[in-house]
Amino acid sequence: MNNEIKYIPTKDAIIGYSDSKIAQSESNDCVVRAIASSFEMHYDEAHKFVAKKWFRGNREGTRNFVGGMRGMVRKGSLINGKSFTNLGDQHGHMKYDVKVKGEIVKRSMTTGTFIKKFPKGRYLVVVRGHAFSIIDGVVVGNTEDSKMKKRVILYSWEVK
């Protein structure tokens, strides 16, 4: 049985990634790659956007990404001409109902469950300390993201 989720390598999923001198020198750029793949942007454009919007320095993580995205949704902001909406409850948390011993309980959504529930569409998701995209049920991120089906999705946005 194959426990992995379908995966597409970053170099094949992000416009301009393979040719980008910036990408070749980067690390801790999961938010840049998630923005680029989710919003169909050139890597270098996404890099500039994230640096400006979240004051991200080269080879540094992106701070307050979730809060910034939630604020942009409230304002009706667009990224690369595309709109996006929060998924989950009023706090953005991804939960779903499961029947356990006759009672309905809320469970945290995992990557595997998310893909079953949302098999079509473009999504940017956040797990603990990391962000990646899920596009039509295929993970665009690190190779490990496709192997961790039980990783809890903390926040997600649908891109239209």
Task: Render pLDDT for 23-69 as a digit per residue (tens, 0 to 9).
Answer: 999 999 999 999 999 999 999 999 999 999 999 999 999 999 999 99
Domain assignment present for 42: yes
CA distances from 13 to 22, 35, 86 (A): 17, 12, 23
Domain assignment present for 27: yes
Number of domains in the chain: 1
Domain assignment present for 131: yes
d(CA 17, CA 95): 33
pLDDT tens for each residue of 105-129: 999 999 999 999 999 999 999 999 9
- The parent domain of residue 137 ranges over 10-159
- Cα three-residue angle 121-46-124, rounded to 5 degrees: 30
Instruction: Please state, rounded to an integer, the average pLDDT across all residues of the chain.
Output: 93
pLDDT confidence bin for 93, thresholds 50/70/90: confident
Domain assignment present for 4: no
pTM attached to this predicted model:
0.91
Which of these, 65, 40, 37, lies nearest to 50 by C-alpha position? 65
pLDDT on residue 1 = 42
Mean pLDDT of 92-113: 90
Domain assignment present for 5: no
